[in-house]
């Protein structure tokens, strides 16, 4: 069959790489792709949100399955448009995608279905939000309601800081219309973890646990980013926590959506704060995480395509399962100087081939493009250097050894990816 992956980042490169390995797949396309995806798929110059052009391409080229990587086209209703044309697509429809497209929608849904999350209030007026935080018990978190590329969450420790965050989001419009509303919530403490699953709208097939590193710099310092690295499995997700996530978070979510007439099909991502043994939901995402996709799909031993086909076709995954490599995996993101703020593009990248000569290493491209015979930077997060190891120490050493072989002007990366795993031991999966 022919498969189209929609998107251009590290997650999409990982999906193309994994899907291309399936014996069911003859050809993989990616819209628009990047400089590394060209190794595993044919790149098509169509933007992920250009739904009309994507549908035309799918029809003209007899694509049998389309897989959506990023959140924006899902929030824009790409799955609904495909459904009207009787085309198979893996990803939730517009109503389901509101889980990520609107934090206020997600918080209200969680409250109604008794899903553990931080206490919160929602505001559409900056003065009302400021009046609330004036008397709040700090620290509090200010969140832009809409899509902000993982950067619309600001942790504040006093009211002046909170005022500044509200102004940035709602007055200065740092995230455009995503700042029409804000969610103000109590800051939770504990260990963060990512729990990603596939659902057909009724049954849920969980993936292995993972942990992202959101802050730009070592020791979780600096601004929030789209993710500076990840590892799998995550030791804080033991059997007890795993069962609670399934029973107290994911099944109540899917059931609550069904009661609203929403049949959720695709990846579902719960960003969690583990406090003691209780998982609290920080956010829901409606796609696979990035960079979590890289270590997860490196560890996945099964063919993911039959599951995607079943979900996209409206079938059941009740009797399906995943098998995981027992080897831990670590992904180190190499970024452009200035990220997550302003950064320059067009820097020539060298050393990728040398990095991939290390056994167990795969370099997934995120913000790259081909220029003549070279690979150059084209984004803030440039590469996801990912390694499988005998144990977590070995995986960490391989990933950093590989990263050290790669260079481009202004490259930087965190030096502490995976160290929390090393302190905590092995995870459940």
Model pLDDT for residues 266-322, shown as the tens digit of each residue = 999 999 999 999 999 999 999 999 999 999 999 999 999 999 999 999 999 999 999
CB atoms within 10 A of CB 141: 20
Residues 14 and 86 in one domain: yes
The CB-side HSE value for 398 (13 A sphere, CA atoms) comes to 25
3-state secondary structure of 238: coil
Residue 237: pLDDT over 80: yes
Distance CA 384, CA 230 (A): 9
Residues 52 and 146 in one domain: no
Q: Which CATH number goes with the domain that contains 414? A: 3.90.600.10
Q: Cβ(152)–Cβ(185) under 8 Å?
A: no
Please give the residue range of the domain that contains residue 396: 329-424
Residue length of the chain: 429
Average pLDDT over the chain, rounded to an integer: 95
Residues 221 and 297 in one domain: yes
Q: Count of domains in the chain?
A: 4
Of the residues 93, 114, 139, which one is the last residue of a structural domain?
93
Residue 351: pLDDT over 90: yes
Q: Which residues, at least 6 apart from 244, have a Cβ–Cβ distance to it below 8 Å?
A: 277, 278, 279
Q: Which residues, at least 6 apart from 163, have a Cβ–Cβ distance to it below 8 Å?
A: 130, 133
Q: Which CATH number goes with the domain that contains 267? A: 3.30.470.20
Q: Which CATH number goes with the domain that contains 11? A: 3.40.50.20
Residues 75 and 131 in one domain: no
Residues 176 and 201 in one domain: no
Residues 306 and 196 in one domain: yes
Model pLDDT for residues 108-166, shown as the tens digit of each residue = 999 999 999 999 999 999 999 999 999 999 999 999 999 987 788 999 999 999 999 99
Answer whether residue 49 is part of any domain: yes
Residues 300 and 202 in one domain: yes
Residues 195 and 288 in one domain: yes
Kindly report the backbone phi and psi dihedral angles of residue 271, in degrees, each rounded to the nearest multiple of 5, phi listed first: -85, 120
Distance CA 384, CA 331 (A): 6
Of the residues 312, 343, 362, which one is the last residue of a structural domain?
312
Question: DSSP string of 306-371?
Answer: HHHHHHHTT---TT----B-SS-EEEEEEEETTTTS-----PEEB-HHHHHTSTTEEEEESSEEEE
**Rama region for 150: left / alpha / beta (φ>0; ψ in -120 to 50; rest):** left
Model pLDDT for residues 186-226, shown as the tens digit of each residue = 999 999 999 999 999 999 999 999 999 999 999 999 988 99
Residues 338 and 409 in one domain: yes
Residues 64 and 159 in one domain: no
């Amino acid at each position: 069959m022919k498969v189209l992956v929609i998107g251009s980042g590290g997650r999409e490169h990982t999906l193309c790489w994994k899907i291309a390995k399936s014996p069911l797949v003859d050809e993989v396309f990616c819209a628009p792709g990047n400089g590394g995806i060209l190794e595993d798929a044919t790149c098509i110059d169509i933007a992920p949100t250009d739904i009309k052009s994507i549908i035309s391409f799918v029809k003209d080229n007899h694509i049998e399955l389309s897989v959506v990587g990023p959140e924006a086209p899902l929030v824009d209703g790409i799955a609904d448009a495909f459904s009207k044309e009787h085309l198979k697509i893996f990803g939730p429809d517009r109503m389901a995608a509101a889980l990520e497209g609107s934090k206020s929608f997600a918080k209200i849904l969680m409250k109604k279905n008794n899903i553990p999350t931080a206490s919160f209030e929602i505001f559409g007026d900056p003065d009302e939000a400021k009046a609330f935080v004036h008397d709040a018990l700090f620290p509090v978190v200010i969140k832009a309601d809409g899509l902000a590329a993982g950067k619309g969450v600001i942790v504040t420790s006093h009211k002046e800081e909170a005022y500044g965050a509200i102004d940035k989001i709602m007055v200065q419009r740092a995230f455009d219309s995503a700042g029409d509303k804000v969610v103000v919530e109590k800051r939770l403490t504990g260990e963060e973890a990512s729990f990603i699953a596939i659902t057909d709208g009724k049954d849920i097939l969980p993936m292995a646990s993972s942990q992202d590193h959101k802050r730009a710099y070592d020791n979780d310092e600096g601004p929030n980013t789209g993710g500076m690295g990840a590892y799998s499995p995550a030791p804080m997700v033991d059997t007890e926590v795993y069962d609670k996530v399934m029973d107290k978070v994911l099944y109540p979510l899917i059931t609550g959506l069904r009661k609203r007439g929403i049949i959720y099909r695709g990846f579902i991502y719960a960003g969690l704060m583990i406090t003691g043994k209780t998982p609290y939901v920080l956010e829901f995402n409606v796609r696979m995480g990035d960079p979590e996709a890289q270590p997860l799909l490196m560890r996945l031993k099964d063919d993911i395509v039959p599951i995607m086909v079943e979900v996209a076709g409206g079938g059941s995954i009740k009797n399906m399962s995943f098998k995981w490599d027992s080897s831990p995996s670590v992904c180190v993101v190499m970024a452009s100087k200035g990220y997550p703020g302003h950064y320059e593009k067009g820097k020539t990248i060298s050393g990728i081939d040398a990095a991939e000569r290390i056994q167990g290493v795969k370099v997934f491209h995120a913000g790259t493009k081909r220029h003549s015979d070279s690979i150059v930077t084209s984004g803030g997060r440039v590469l996801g250097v990912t390694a499988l190891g005998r144990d977590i120490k070995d995986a960490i050493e391989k990933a950093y050894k590989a990263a050290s072989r790669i260079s481009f002007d202004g490259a930087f990366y965190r030096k502490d990816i995976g160290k929390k795993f090393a302190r905590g031991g092995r995870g459940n999966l």
